[in-house]
C-alpha cells in the first residue's frame, strides 16, 4: 500500500498549448468540405456523449467504491455491536447472581434492585448506596455502565452509516443509468455513419485537439526509463493489459475503464491508487509534462475525466472508450491538465 499526499500542481504552459490548439482547430475547421459537415457533426456528438459517459463512469466508480467501504464498515460495526451485547449480557448475569444470592438469603437489598432498573447511571449517581456493595461489584457495575453507553453510541453511528449506504446505492444506480443512456445514444449515432467513417472513428482521441499540441520536446525523453522499480512494475502491468477491452466501471483483470487500468497496474507495484481519475490526479507529485517518465499518470481535460499512463517515446497506455481495447496512443491525443508521479 502506498500513501500519498496532495501536492500543488507545478503546472506547465497551458496558455501557449491552448493558443496552439485553437489556431490549429480554426485552420482545420476552415478546410472541412461542406458535404462532410453532417458526418462531422455526428462524430462530434458521439465524442461529446462518450466524454459525458466517461464523467458519469468516474462518478459511478466513486459512488460504488464508497458503497463498498460503507458495507464493510457497517458489517464490522454490527459484529462489534453483537460482541458488545454479549459482553453486556455476561455482566448482567454476573451482577444478577448477587441479587439471586440475596433473595435466597431473605430478600433483595434495595441497592441491588437498582441493577434491574435498566438505568445503571441512576444506581451509580446515588453515592449513598455504594457502601452496600463491594468494590468488585461496583467495578462490574461501572463496566456495565460504560458498555451500555458504547453500545448506544455504536448503534447511532451504524444507523447513520446505513442511511449513507442507502444514499450511495441510489447514486450508483443513477450514475449507471446515465452511463448506459449516453453509451446507447452514442452507439445509435455511430450506426448512422457510413461503414468507412465508422471504422475510422477508432482514432486516438475524442477531442478536436488530437495531434495538434506541440510536443516536440518529448523527443528528449525517448530513452528515459521509469523513475523507480515501482513505476517500472506498473508499466509492465499496464503493458500486459494491452488488447483487453474497455469496460466502464471495471478495474480488471479482464476489462478496464481508464482509471481502473491505472489502479490495477499500480496495485501490481504495491501502490494503492484512488479509484477515479479526479482522485488519481492528486495521488502523488505533479511534474511538468516535459519531465514525464514511464509510469507517470497523464490526466486529461480540465475535468480530469480521463487518465493514461505515460509509457515513453511520447506515448501513453490507456483504456480509451467503449468498443476500443487498451492500447498505445500519442500522449497529446487530447488536452492535458496535469501529470502526476505516484
Catalytic residue (choose from 175, 258, 268, 286): 258
The set of residues, in sequence order, having a beta carbon less than 8 Å from that of 261 and lying 6+ positions away, is 238, 241, 251, 252, 309, 317, 318, 319, 326
Could you give the number of structural domains in the chain? Answer: 2
Domain boundary among 154, 180, 201: 201
Q: Are residues 25 and 41 in the same domain?
A: no
As a whole number, mean pLDDT of residues 214-229 equals 64
**Nearest CA-CA partner of 291 in 55, 11, 2:** 11
Q: Are residues 27 and 171 in the same domain?
A: no
Is residue 6 assigned to a domain? no
Q: How far apart are CA 24 and CA 30, in angstroms?
A: 10
**Is residue 318 among the annotated active site residues?**
yes
Grid cell locating 172: 450508483
Is residue 4 assigned to a domain? no
CATH number at residue 130: 1.10.287
Grid cell locating 139: 467495578
Q: Are residues 132 and 157 in the same domain?
A: yes
The set of residues, in sequence order, having a beta carbon less than 8 Å from that of 60 and lying 6+ positions away, is 172, 175, 176, 179, 248, 249
Residue 293: pLDDT above 90? Answer: yes
Work out the burial of residue 289: count CB atoms within 10 Å of its CB; fewer than 13 is exposed, 13-18 middle, 19 or more buried.
buried
Domain boundary among 155, 183, 201: 201
Q: Are residues 150 and 218 in the same domain?
A: no
Q: What is the pLDDT of residues 34-91, one digit of tens each?
A: 344 445 677 778 778 888 888 888 888 888 888 878 888 888 888 888 887 887 788 7
CA 3, 221, 206, 268 torsion: positive or negative? Answer: negative
Residue 113: pLDDT above 60? Answer: no
**Is residue 20 among the annotated active site residues?**
no
E strand or H helix that includes residue 60: helix 37-104
Looking at the DSSP assignment, which residues form a beta bridge with residue 317? 309, 328
Q: Are residues 191 and 87 in the same domain?
A: yes
Task: Sheet with 306-312: list strands edge to edge.
Answer: 285-287, 336-341, 297-300, 306-312, 315-318, 327-330
Catalytic residue (choose from 35, 268, 286, 318): 318
Residue 271: pLDDT above 70? Answer: yes
More confident of the two residues 282 and 76: 282
Is residue 299 assigned to a domain? yes
Q: Are residues 20 and 40 in the same domain?
A: no
- Can you give the pLDDT at residue 297? 97
Q: Residue 278's domain spans which residues?
A: 14-31+207-341
- Can you give the pLDDT at residue 315? 93
Domain boundary among 201, 222, 250: 201
Q: Are residues 324 and 213 in the same domain?
A: yes
Q: Are residues 51 and 193 in the same domain?
A: yes
Question: Which of 107-111, 116-120, 204-208 reaches the highest mean pLDDT?
Answer: 116-120
Query: What is the number of other CB atoms lying within 10 angstroms of the CB of residue 222?
Result: 9
Is residue 7 assigned to a domain? no
CATH number at residue 224: 3.90.1720.10
**Is residue 175 among the annotated active site residues?**
no
Residue 29: pLDDT above 60? Answer: no
Question: Which of 4-13, 153-162, 204-213, 276-285 reaches the highest mean pLDDT?
Answer: 276-285
Is residue 2 assigned to a domain? no
Q: Are 137 and 98 in contact (CB under 8 A)?
A: yes
As a whole number, mean pLDDT of residues 6-33 equals 35
Q: Are 287 and 296 in contact (CB under 8 A)?
A: yes
Q: How far apart are CA 167 and CA 245, in angstroms?
A: 31
Residue 219: pLDDT above 70? Answer: no
Looking at the DSSP assignment, which residues form a beta bridge with residue 338? 299
Q: Are residues 26 and 49 in the same domain?
A: no
Q: How far apart are the first and last CA of the chain?
A: 12
Amino acid at each position: 500500500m502506498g500513501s500519498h499526499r496532495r501536492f500543488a500542481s507545478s503546472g506547465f504552459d497551458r496558455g501557449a498549448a491552448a493558443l496552439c490548439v485553437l489556431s490549429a482547430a480554426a485552420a482545420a475547421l476552415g478546410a472541412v468540405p461542406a458535404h462532410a459537415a453532417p458526418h462531422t457533426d455526428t462524430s462530434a456528438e458521439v465524442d461529446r456523449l462518450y466524454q459525458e459517459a466517461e464523467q458519469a463512469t468516474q462518478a459511478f466508480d466513486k459512488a460504488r467504491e464508497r458503497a463498498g467501504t460503507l458495507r464493510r464498515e457497517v458489517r464490522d460495526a454490527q459484529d462489534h455491536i453483537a460482541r458488545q451485547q454479549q459482553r453486556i449480557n455476561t455482566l448482567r448475569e454476573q451482577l444478577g447472581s448477587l441479587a439471586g444470592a440475596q433473595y435466597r438469603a431473605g430478600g433483595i437489598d434495595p441497592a441491588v434492585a437498582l441493577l434491574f432498573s435498566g438505568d445503571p447511571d441512576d444506581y451509580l449517581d446515588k453515592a449513598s448506596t455504594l457502601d452496600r456493595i463491594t468494590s468488585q461489584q461496583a467495578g462490574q457495575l461501572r463496566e456495565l455502565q460504560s458498555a451500555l453507553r458504547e453500545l448506544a453510541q455504536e448503534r447511532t453511528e451504524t444507523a447513520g452509516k446505513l442511511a449513507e449506504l442507502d444514499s450511495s446505492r441510489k447514486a450508483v444506480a443513477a450514475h449507471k443509468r446515465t452511463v448506459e443512456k449516453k453509451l446507447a445514444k452514442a452507439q445509435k449515432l455511430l450506426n448512422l455513419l457510413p461503414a468507412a467513417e465508422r471504422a475510422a472513428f477508432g482514432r486516438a482521441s475524442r477531442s478536436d485537439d488530437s495531434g495538434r499540441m506541440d510536443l516536440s520536446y518529448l523527443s528528449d525523453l525517448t530513452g528515459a526509463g521509469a523513475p523507480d522499480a515501482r513505476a517500472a512494475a506498473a508499466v509492465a502491468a499496464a503493458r500486459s493489459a494491452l488488447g483487453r477491452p474497455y469496460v466502464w466501471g471495471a478495474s480488471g483483470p479482464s476489462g478496464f475503464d481508464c482509471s481502473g487500468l491505472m489502479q490495477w497496474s499500480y496495485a501490481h507495484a504495491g501502490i494503492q491508487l484512488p479509484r477515479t481519475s479526479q482522485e488519481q490526479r492528486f495521488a502523488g507529485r505533479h511534474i511538468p509534462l516535459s519531465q514525464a517518465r514511464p509510469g507517470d499518470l497523464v490526466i486529461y481535460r480540465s475535468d480530469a475525466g480521463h487518465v493514461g499512463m505515460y509509457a515513453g517515446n511520447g506515448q501513453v497506455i490507456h483504456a480509451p472508450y467503449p468498443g476500443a481495447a487498451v492500447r498505445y496512443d500519442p500522449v497529446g491525443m487530447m488536452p492535458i491538465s496535469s501529470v502526476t508521479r505516484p
